[in-house]
Amino acid sequence: MLFFSCSESRKKNTHQITEGEIVYEVVNNQEFDTNNMSFIYPKEMILLFKDNKLKLSLNGPLGAYTFDFIYNDTNDTVFTLLKIPLLFDKKVFTTTINKKLLFFAELISNQNTVFYEETKEIAGIKAHKAKLIFNENTKPDITVWYSNDFSLNSPNRNTLFENIPGILLEFEIKIKDVTFNFKANKINIKNITDDFFYVPNDFTLISIQEMEELLSTVF
């Protein structure tokens, strides 16, 4: 059984996880090749959450870079941070308000979200199946698995998956010609300090255009 929904949502779990950490394995469809830069693609993503605050972190191999998104729920501002130790320890950030995250920018399209009754367990949590169906025939459908066991309102706001009501536990995205698959393999329920959800003082503000130029060296 399936149903369309941008207006309906599943019943929330009354015993929800309020703060903690989710660790995702990241796999891409590129063969290891020093020419196409696949060797520096991230292998892991970490999601920190607390009181409707979110921080997504992608770490490059051997500490080559750290790429973060922070949404601290004080307003609708998304902070994008990039740290490149090998580039004179470069630490920069930019902000967007009421816009899509840079990481998902070229993926936004008209779409329908379909929810299924099918479930499975991921990292010890019950996950529900959904599918994003794009109106453009050139874009393949995206299947996602999500959970309502986390106490977060609109956890996928400002992303391609904003119609999904719960935390994503398994999904994929395509950036340029590379498909990245994300799957949660560890969920740690623990206290998270508020400091994680703010931009450190040693980061320099740059424009969105400058950030996109820097990100193009990685993705």
What are the tens digits of pLDDT across the range 44-64?
999 999 988 999 999 888 778
| More confident call, 24 vs 59 | 24
Q: Which residue, among 155, 145, 140, has the nearest Cα to 117 in the 3D structure?
A: 145
Banded pLDDT at 159 (limits 50, 70, 90)? confident
pLDDT digits (tens, 9 = 90+) for 101-157: 545 544 555 678 999 999 999 999 999 999 998 876 667 889 999 999 998 888 887
153 alpha carbon, distance to own chain's centre = 15
**What domains are there in the chain, each with its CATH number?**
2-10+17-215 (2.50.20.10)
Supply the pLDDT for residue 45: 94
Q: What is the pTM of this model?
A: 0.84
What's the rounded Cα separation, in Å, for the pair 152 and 28? 28
Amino acid at the residue 124 = G
Sign of CA dihedral 179, 114, 147, 1: negative
Phi-psi region of 47 (alpha: psi -120 to 50; beta: other; left: phi over 0): beta
Segment 197-214 shows an average pLDDT of 91
What's the rounded Cα separation, in Å, for the pair 174 and 205? 27
Supply the pLDDT for residue 182: 96
Q: What are the Cα distances from residue 49, in Å, to 33, 163, 167, 207?
A: 35, 19, 10, 27
Question: 214 by DSSP, 3-state: which?
Answer: helix
Contact 181, 27 (CB under 8 A): yes
Question: 14 by DSSP, 3-state: which?
Answer: coil
Contact 132, 180 (CB under 8 A): no
